[in-house]
């Protein structure tokens, strides 16, 4: 059997300078409005504090900080530096979402696309246990699967263009599941970077997790959450948003 391709995660390390060009914070506004709606609708306490787990470059935080006092965490120090620059008034810390214990709790937690990096059942369950441990009683976790077994589109390829001054970048993203029997799929990215017209081509690769929608429901319930579901539409695709309340 061939060895799987190695994960490079360059978008969060040496190519993290490209992240601000891949969608600006305004594009995250509608999604964050839905997150805030779910929080208002389902939390069983007045929500003032929010933890963004896997906050990346802090684009969600740009929107959520209008309503909540936000703390962000991420594994990548480079992404955290960007998040801090965008949101100097917020608090940030570096940690691994599978294992951290921060020493304080929050009224709400957002776990956005970082949950996709949980590419085995053990990590997936650990991330939800970590979130649960950081919520106040009556508090709420909002989490949205990027893909589930039901919504996964084999070989889906998208291209996004961005321009800043004389720098032009095309992000070409492909998802592929080489073995539908396991809990993983591959994301491969091609970056076409043209600085004053001169082309440089870079590549990136991740192994991400994909679970059925019922596995999501079961794992969240087994963690101890009371579940509600919302829907989010983006570029013609529909996503399930889980509103998970800590009742115990």
Task: Please report, as ranges, the residues that interact with ligand SAM according to CB under 6 A.
Answer: 12, 54-60, 74-76, 79, 96-98, 112-114, 117
Rounded least distance, CB 2 to ligand SAM, Å:
25
> CB 78 → ligand SAM: shortest distance, Å?
8
Pairing relationship of beta strands 157-164 and 91-94 according to DSSP bridges = unpaired
| Closest C-alpha to 226, from 209, 240, 246 | 246
- C-beta closer to ligand SAM: residue 34 or 45: 34
Mark residue 127 as left, alpha or beta (left: phi above 0; alpha: psi -120 to 50; beta: remaining).
alpha
- Report the residue number, 68 or 117, with the smaller CB distance to ligand SAM: 117
Least Å distance, CB 196 to ligand SAM, is 27
* Biggest CA pair distance of the chain: 58
Q: How far is the CB of 246 from ligand SAM (least distance, A)?
A: 20
Radius of gyration of the chain (CA): 18
Question: Of all residues in this chain, which one has the CB nearest to ligand SAM in the complex?
Answer: 56
Sign of CA dihedral 46, 39, 105, 242: positive
CA angle 160, 163, 165 (to 5 degrees): 170
Nearer to ligand SAM, 12 or 242 (CB): 12
CB of 17 to ligand SAM, least distance (A): 13
Considering beta carbons, is residue 156 or 166 the nearer one to ligand SAM? 156
Closest to ligand SAM by CB, 22 vs 152, is 22
- Give CA separation, 87 vs 39, 58, 70, 72, 74, in Å: 21, 7, 9, 10, 14
Of 30 and 214, which has the nearer Cβ to ligand SAM? Answer: 30
Select from 171, 160, 159, 176 the least CA-distant residue to 204. 171
Closest separation in Å from C-beta 47 to ligand SAM: 19
Q: Which residue has the tokens 């699967």?
A: 145
């Amino acid at each position: 059997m061939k060895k799987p391709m190695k994960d490079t995660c360059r978008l969060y390390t040496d190519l993290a300078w490209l992240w601000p060009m891949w969608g600006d914070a305004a594009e995250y506004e509608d999604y964050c409005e839905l997150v805030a709606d779910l929080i208002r609708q389902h939390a069983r306490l007045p929500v003032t504090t929010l933890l963004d787990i896997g906050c990346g470059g802090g684009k969600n935080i740009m929107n959520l900080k209008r309503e909540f006092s936000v703390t962000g965490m991420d594994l990548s120090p480079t992404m955290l530096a960007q998040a801090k620059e965008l949101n100097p008034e917020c608090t940030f810390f570096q940690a691994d979402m599978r294992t951290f214990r921060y020493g304080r709790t929050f009224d709400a937690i957002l776990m956005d696309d970082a949950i996709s990096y949980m590419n085995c059942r053990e990590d997936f369950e650990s991330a939800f246990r970590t979130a649960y441990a950081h919520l106040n009683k009556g508090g709420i976790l909002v989490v949205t699967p990027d893909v589930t077994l039901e919504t996964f589109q084999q070989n889906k390829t998208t291209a996004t263009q961005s321009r800043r001054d004389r720098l032009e970048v095309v992000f070409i993203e492909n998802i592929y599941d080489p073995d539908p029997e396991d809990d993983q799929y591959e994301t491969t990215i091609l970056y076409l970077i043209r600085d004053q017209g001169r082309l440089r081509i870079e590549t990136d690769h991740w192994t991400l997790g994909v679970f059925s929608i019922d596995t999501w429901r079961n794992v969240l319930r087994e963690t101890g959450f009371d579940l509600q579901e919302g829907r989010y539409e983006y570029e013609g695709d529909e996503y399930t948003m889980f509103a998970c309340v800590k009742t115990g």
